Each structure stands twice: as C-alpha cells, then as structure tokens.
C-alpha cells in the first residue's frame, strides 16, 4: 500500500464525487472517505453510504465509533464493499463527535481504543490504521502522546496518521481546531525515531510539494487536507514531482474526463451541483479562475443545474491555452 501522499478524510468534502474528480488528476495519491459512523454503516443504507466507483481506488474507509463490536462489524462491511483500508477516527474534535464518544476524545481512553483496534483487525483482512492528534486540551506533553501510540501499537497496528496539533475538546469549533492549536511537527518526527518500524504519516497545514518533500525526509508519508480541496490541481504537481509520473492531464482534460461520469450519475438521480461543487478550485491561480468559480456558482452549483451548461462551458474552455481559462463565456 503506497501512502506516500494521501488526501485527508474531510466531512462534506471527500465524498465519492470528490474522490472520482481527484483521481482524474492523480493516479497515485491515496484517498480517504469522509468519516462514517459505525452504527450508520451497520444499520443504515449501506449502498448509499459505502458504494463507490472502482476508479477511485485505492481508497480507504474512515469509521467513527467506540464500540469494539460495532466497529468490527463495520470494518467487515467495508471490506465487503471493496475498500483497501479501514481507518479509525481518533482526531475529530467537534462537540457532536465527543458527545457520541468517538474522535479525539478517545485519546483519553487508550485501552478502549486498543480493544476496538483488536476487534477490528480480527474482523477483516484489510489493514487497520488510525488518524489521531498529538494531544488534547492541556494534555500535550510528548510522553503522553508516545504512550498513547505505544498502547495502540501493542495491538499490531502498523500505520499511524498524525495531525500535528492537539485537539481542544468542546472549546473550539472544528474550524478553529484546524488553525488555533500550534503545529508541532517535531512530535511526529520524534515519533518516527522512536518507532522506526512503524509507518508514520504526518498531517496538518501542509500546502505545497516543497513542504511534502521536506516532511518525507523525516516521516513515511504526508497527508494533505484543505489544500487538496481548495486547490485540487496541486495533486498534478504531486503526481509529477513525488510519484515521477509525467502523464498529467491538463485542467481542461480533467473536466472533459469528468463529463461522462457526470452524465452517468445524473441518470442515477445525482444532482449536478453535488458533483460540480468540488471543481470550484480547479483553476486556482490561473487567469480566469474567478470567472470559473462565478460561472459554476451561478450555473452548475445550483440545485436545479442543467447538464447542457457543461457542454456550453467546455466549448469555450477548449479554446483556451492549457495554462489558462477562457476569460469570457457568452
């Protein structure tokens, strides 16, 4: 499993449409689902929650929960649906998540987490991984972080994805938790030194290929989050510079390749805006990027958007150089 670079699980972002779109840009970046609660997987509409396009692979299913039994059952269901990995969320800091006892609050209960991981591993042949933070509230010393990881390692877990910030439980909003607690990359670097045989992946505030390369000198992999969503063509640079793949589609080609998927999804009842909202940042930094966002927002990201408008915009985009977007569309 190549987790050298991955895109983080992000609520309301990394759904199946976003993952298909990102896969058109990068063939090698490892992708993750949004977090799905174990109880929803076990008792909800499994097809609606878990079905994905085979072209998204490799893709991991991230699960939230704290019941060893429910997590084990959800992991087996994830395997049956064809996912490549099951990831346990130990990093989400929201009040709602804490109330339901999953996410970062579980850092307070390492033995419960270890039990969950043991049961999950026993239920499936897929690799079980975790995504967590370096601490929570006032518990932010390296020793406590090290001991937490050591407890989880004792279950046989090999891959640890670390968001290099602590979680402020119930004090900050999820957005504030992504910005206010300071990044402590040195904790993750030290963790790799202390656990040289485990796969340690760093996450948090990473926005460029240069930064990725620097982190890869001291860790096994890098997970990017908001940068991948807001500037998705960053994955093209990653594909070329990190994975040494020269066959990179232009931005226009990405949209051209997305259209057949869009048309098939519309036949299934998917709304156009559910897909196209993920493409807003495709032309970030390019001439005409503001126009692209405005056109999508006014025409393709509205509830009753018309598929014909995609063909209309592509007629204009094809006339533009690869590094630019047509400045005007009638």
Cβ–Cβ < 8 Å for 100, 70 = no
pLDDT of residue 232: 98
pLDDT of residue 323: 42
Topology classification of domain 251-317: 1.20.120
Cβ–Cβ < 8 Å for 74, 88 = no
Cβ–Cβ < 8 Å for 283, 262 = no
DSSP reduced 3-state for 325: coil
DSSP assignment letter at 282: T
List Cβ neighbours of 129 (8 Å cut-off, separation of 6 or more): 60, 85, 86, 87, 88, 157, 158, 159, 160, 161
Distance between start and end Cα atoms, the chain? 47
Per DSSP, what are the bridge partners of residue 7? Answer: 224
> How confident is the prediction along the chain (330 residues), in pLDDT tens digits per residue?
899 999 999 999 999 999 999 999 999 999 999 999 999 999 999 999 999 999 999 999 999 999 999 999 999 999 999 999 999 999 988 766 656 788 999 999 999 999 999 999 999 999 999 999 999 999 999 999 999 999 999 999 999 999 999 988 876 666 676 667 899 999 999 999 999 999 999 999 999 999 999 999 999 999 999 999 999 999 999 999 999 999 999 999 999 999 999 999 999 999 999 999 999 999 999 887 888 888 888 888 888 887 777 777 776 565 444 444 444 433
Distance separating alpha carbons of residues 141 and 161, to the nearest angstrom: 18
> Prior bond to 89 cis, omega within 30?
no
In this structure, the chain runs to a length of 330
For domain 5-241, say whether CATH 3.40.50.720 is its number.
Answer: no
Distance separating alpha carbons of residues 74 and 71, to the nearest angstrom: 5
Cβ–Cβ < 8 Å for 86, 120 = yes
- Residues annotated as part of the active site: 92
Q: Do domains 5-241 and 251-317 have the same CATH topology?
A: no
Domain boundaries, the chain: 5-241, 251-317
Q: Answer positive or negative: Cα dihedral of 203, 209, 211, 214.
A: positive
Helix H or strand E encompassing 202:
strand 199-203
Residue 244, CB-side half-sphere exposure with 13 Å CA sphere: 0
Helix H or strand E encompassing 216:
helix 209-216
Q: Answer positive or negative: Cα dihedral of 99, 104, 108, 110.
A: positive
pLDDT of residue 100: 72
Helix H or strand E encompassing 16:
helix 16-25
Helix H or strand E encompassing 302:
none
- Structure pTM? 0.93
């Amino acid at each position: 499993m190549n987790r050298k670079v991955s895109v983080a699980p992000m609520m309301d972002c990394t759904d199946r449409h976003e993952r298909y779109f990102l896969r058109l840009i990068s063939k090698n970046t490892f992708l993750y689902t949004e977090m799905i609660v174990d109880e929803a997987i076990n008792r909800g509409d499994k097809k609606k929650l878990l079905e994905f396009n085979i072209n998204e692979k490799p893709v991991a299913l991230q699960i939230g929960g704290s019941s060893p039994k429910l997590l084990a059952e959800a992991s087996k269901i994830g395997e049956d649906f064809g996912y490549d990995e099951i990831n346990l969320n130990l990093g989400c800091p929201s009040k709602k998540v804490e109330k339901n006892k999953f996410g970062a609050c579980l850092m307070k209960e390492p033995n419960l987490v270890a039990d969950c991981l043991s049961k999950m591993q026993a239920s499936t042949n897929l690799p079980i991984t975790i995504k967590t933070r370096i601490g929570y509230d006032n518990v932010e010393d390296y020793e406590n972080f090290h001991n937490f990881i050591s407890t989880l390692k004792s279950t046989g877990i090999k891959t640890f994805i670390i968001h290099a910030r602590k979680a402020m439980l119930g004090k900050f909003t999820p957005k504030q938790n992504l910005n206010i607690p300071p990044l402590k990359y040195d904790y993750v670097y030290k963790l790799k030194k202390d656990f040289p045989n485990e796969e340690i992946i760093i996450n948090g505030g990473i926005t460029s290929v240069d930064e990725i390369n620097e982190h890869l000198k001291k860790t096994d992999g890098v997970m990017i989050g908001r940068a991948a969503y807001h500037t998705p063509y960053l994955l093209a640079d990653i594909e070329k510079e990190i994975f040494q793949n020269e066959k990179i589609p232009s931005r226009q080609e990405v949209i051209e390749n997305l259209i057949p998927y869009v048309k098939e999804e519309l036949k299934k009842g998917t709304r156009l805006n559910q897909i196209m909202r993920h493409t807003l940042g495709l032309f970030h930094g390019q001439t005409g990027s503001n126009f692209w966002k405005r056109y999508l927002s006014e025409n393709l990201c509205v509830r009753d958007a018309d598929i014909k408008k995609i063909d209309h915009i592509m007629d204009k985009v094809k006339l533009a150089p690869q590094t630019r977007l047509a400045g005007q569309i009638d």
